[in-house]
């Protein structure tokens, strides 16, 4: 955790940014509740999960702690209620129908659900996420839904060792956010950067980095 915080801090300084403007999301998928508890003891509050069933068990086991839970995985329609009822953020909204279901299921007694739209910045047909040219209409639709608060954009670029390529993809997401904000959306979140491309993402303006391996170690094969 301290190593990752130091990476964020050094990169932010080099880029002329404040490290306090970059939130660290600890991606705890496949790791037990006890690992989350240990990270909490080290000062971490925000955690990201990809699999609903696994996440619900952890959230229940850790309900004594004031944690902020982010859903970052693919969203199946039949899981929208569980997500809307148990998470504070969802980073992976890519379809209006899913957003509508999340809005319908968000309990009235809770804060609006914070939402990022997942954008396919790498262009492969296999990757989930909305195409860059379809971001604007989706953003309009999500902004109009009650119980959701549209916060920004998220991307999972194809893994690339070439830092220049990592930066181009992150810059693409930043530019899309800037276009939406020029159109009056008032979005504040760029969710990008994982263990391998943390530096590129911070340099290009990430406000949330999602880090698993560099905090918790290698995941076992699913």
Ligand X SMILES: *Cc1c(COP(=O)(O)O)cnc(C)c1O
Q: Which residues here bind ligand X, judged by CB under 6 A? A: 27, 29, 50, 72, 156, 194-196, 210-214
Question: Which residue number, 110 or 219, has a Cβ lying nearer to ligand X?
Answer: 219
As measured in angstroms, the least distance from the Cβ of 25 to ligand X is: 8
The minimum distance between CB 213 and ligand X, in angstroms, equals: 3
Give residue number: closest CB to ligand X.
Answer: 212
Nearer Cβ to ligand X, position 19 or 195? 195
Strands 68-71 and 89-93: parallel
Backbone dihedral angles phi then psi of residue 50, each to the nearest 5 degrees:
-110, -25
Q: Which one, of 32, 29, 7, 89, lies nearest residue 221 by Cα?
A: 29
Least separation in angstroms between residue 198's CB and ligand X is: 8
Query: Is residue 137 classed exposed, middle or buried when 0-12, 13-18 and 19+ CB atoms within 10 A define those classes?
Result: exposed
Minimal distance in Å, beta carbon 64 to ligand X?
25
Q: Which is nearer to ligand X, 3 or 182 (CB)?
A: 3
Residue ranges of E strands in the chain: 23-27, 46-49, 68-71, 89-93, 113-118, 148-154, 189-191, 208-211
CA-based radius of gyration for the chain: 17
Min dist CB 19 to ligand X, Å, is 18
| Complex with ligand X: residue 42 or 183, whichever CB lies closer | 42
For ligand X, the closer CB: 129 or 172: 129
Kindly compute the dihedral angle of the four CA atoms of residues 38, 17, 49, 27, in this order, to the nearest 10 degrees.
-50
């Amino acid at each position: 955790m301290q190593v990752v915080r130091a990476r964020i801090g050094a990169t932010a300084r080099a880029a002329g940014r404040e490290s306090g403007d970059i939130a660290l999301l600890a991606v705890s998928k496949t790791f037990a509740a006890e690992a989350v508890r240990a990270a909490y003891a080290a000062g971490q509050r925000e955690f990201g999960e990809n699999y609903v069933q696994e996440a619900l068990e952890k959230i229940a086991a850790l309900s004594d702690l004031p944690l902020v839970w982010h859903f970052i995985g693919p969203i199946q329609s039949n899981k929208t209620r569980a997500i809307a009822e148990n998470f504070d953020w969802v980073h992976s909204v890519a379809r209006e129908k899913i957003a509508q279901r999340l809005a319908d299921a968000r309990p009235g007694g809770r804060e609006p659900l914070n939402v990022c739209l997942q954008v396919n910045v790498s262009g492969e047909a296999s990757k989930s996420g909305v195409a860059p040219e379809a971001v604007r209409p989706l953003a309009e639709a999500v902004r109009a839904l009650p119980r959701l608060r549209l916060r920004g954009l998220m991307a999972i670029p194809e893994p690339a060792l070439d830092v220049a390529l990592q930066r181009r993809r992150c810059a693409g997401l930043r530019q899309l956010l800037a276009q939406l904000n020029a159109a009056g959306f008032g979005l504040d979140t760029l969710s990008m950067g994982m263990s391998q491309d943390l530096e590129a993402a911070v340099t290009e303006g990430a406000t949330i980095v999602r880090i698993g391996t560099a905090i918790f170690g290698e995941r076992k094969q699913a």
